Structure 1
């Protein structure tokens, strides 16, 4: 069951609110001593998280279960998506080393099979009770039950707190069954804004007009680092903006980390971009930062001609900053 993004937290006694964990979604199966972890892609994650497999295999009661949850890794109290991605490594020795150095945790938020039967047709309120009983039998710090509340004031406090171990709120109706493949939950992400320097652009696929702006921030040494992109510039503004950017073209722009460097995630298209002189400042909205980069594409909000590019610094997106 998946979640649909909405702007605000829904109100009503029929809702339960939970923190939104930013990790690898996972269905965990156990039958006797056999444990399997299946990601959203349908592929097994078992070999990449041996510490979770071991923790679940030691769960004596119940002997057979299926739980829905999120695999996360916390470093210094902050979720690290980079650390999760590092687990997807071909060498088992490296995976074992990382599992000891930065162990993962499985945060459980639903249960599909318990007490010897499938309970997916039961309302979520009853599945939550079954999940709490399941959690009482685990006795492992690597598998935990997600926080939950029925108070919208508490949910709003979670959303506005700036806590670094989650990236928003999930709202679930207490009266519905588990709906495979449907967006039957609601998610409200914690959004923040940052003023970024435009250090380059990419053309739209198959065209000669702007496709996306490449964004940068300055570090304490005055180096401009690529931190992400935005492709949400209004369509009507793109032809004129393309002309403006072409006048600013330069041999180079980013003096620190730049787009298109060798990466196992790079594609042929992602490596092609045009540097521009770092003169334009854009305000963008973002949801999550990983490794000093925006995890996802950002939303363009407005131009900031009132700000100097050098004022666009990394301190805007530090863990303690507030939008």
Structure 2
């Protein structure tokens, strides 16, 4: 998911016991696609959650939560460890996602705040914004059977049986699903609280570490003000456009960038932008210096009069900013810059997380 771990104490490697499956078992992953598969009766479709992917292990009184990288997550989510410890089931291994809801919306920022070295801070956040565990696969059943070689349809039945006893409202959920492609496509068009759809073959085994699933992300668009630009590194042509949206207080906040500019368009676009140079560019939150993308362009930026509007495509928003670079779709001379407001990128209500 792109998150960073705070330092944690080293622990001895326990590959097999006491959890039945190795703690370093890698989650099965998904490959990206532009469309969902359409073979009838072959696939199950599930929401793609925007959280921390994890495997959860329980054996007797011992509970482990491991992130996709294999690193332990339990100390950052003590309320989830306590919940799993209290379940009537003595043993199981399941695949799932940790999510946090704030004010009716899923918050990736709140998850990242948990990765903190101070236990007191973690405990405070766990009490104020407890995490939810959404489960979507069963790797070892409560009777101790390794299910990784079983067809997914069988694993799903085991998961649902597990959920009849283990599920807890707003704490531990079994993910919704459909096996109707048309319904899954409706989810892509607007199912709240998630960022796409994952397709799993009903006859497929659990292929640890392999991209054996298919994911189709929901991509959204927004009209943004071009509040500034950066030159390409070692060049006097535009490298990226700096994007802004108007906040409720009327200030223009920097929300991200786009660098998908055709080479043939750069000379003319550079002249157009240079003619609009004028401070401050952004009247609210402004761009910082070099970022992880700045190896190919200067960290310095040129402010512009807020006159140009572009439509961009984006996937994730974190903290009122595009988490990744966006794709430039088109210029919008028909749009007033003042119409480009933060409401466009507000996350949808977390409807699925409350079921």
Give the TM-score, by structure 2 length.
0.81
Deviations 1:47-106 (A, max 9, x none): 110011111112232x22221111001123211111111111121111111111110001
2:293 & 2:217 partners in 1: Cα distance?
A: 31
1:202 equivalenced with 2:234 (yes/no): no
1:41 & 1:229 partners in 2: Cα distance?
A: 28
From 124, 130, 135, the equivalent of 1:97 is 124
1:28 equivalenced with 2:56 (yes/no): yes
Q: 1:144 corresponds to which residue?
A: 173
Deviation at 1:303, TM superposition (A): 1.0
- Which range moved further: 212-221 or 63-72? 212-221
Deviations 1:163-216 (A, max 9, x none): 2x2122111111111122222211222222111011122344565543332110
Gaps of 5+ in 2: 1-27, 350-355
2:331 & 2:300 partners in 1: Cα distance?
A: 21
Gaps of 5+ in 1: none
More strand by share: 1
Q: 1:157 corresponds to which residue?
A: 186
1:244 equivalenced with 2:272 (yes/no): yes
Q: Structure 1 residues 202 and 134, CA, compared in 2 at 3 Å: closer, same or farther?
A: farther
Deviations 1:193-242 (A, max 9, x none): 11101112234456554333211011243210011222222343334433
**Secondary structure of 2:72's aligned partner:** coil
Give the TM-score, by structure 1 length.
0.89
Q: CA RMSD in A?
A: 2.4
Q: 1:3 corresponds to which residue?
A: 30
CA contact (8 A) 2:223 2:310 kept: yes
1:57-96 paired onto structure 2 within 5 Å: 57-61=85-89, 63-96=90-123
Q: Structure 1 residues 309 and 66, CA, compared in 2 at 3 Å: closer, same or farther?
A: same
Deviation at 1:162, TM superposition (A): 4.7
CA contact (8 A) 1:200 1:273 kept: no
CA contact (8 A) 1:22 1:166 kept: yes
1:104 & 1:49 partners in 2: Cα distance?
A: 7
Aligned residues: 316
Q: 1:297 corresponds to which residue?
A: 325
1:77 & 1:200 partners in 2: Cα distance?
A: 34
2:176 & 2:234 partners in 1: Cα distance?
A: 47
From 156, 171, 195, the equivalent of 1:128 is 156
Q: 1:186 corresponds to which residue?
A: 214
Q: Structure 1 residues 268 and 122, CA, compared in 2 at 3 Å: closer, same or farther?
A: closer
CA contact (8 A) 2:289 2:300 kept: no
**Secondary structure of 2:166's aligned partner:** coil
CA contact (8 A) 2:282 2:303 kept: no
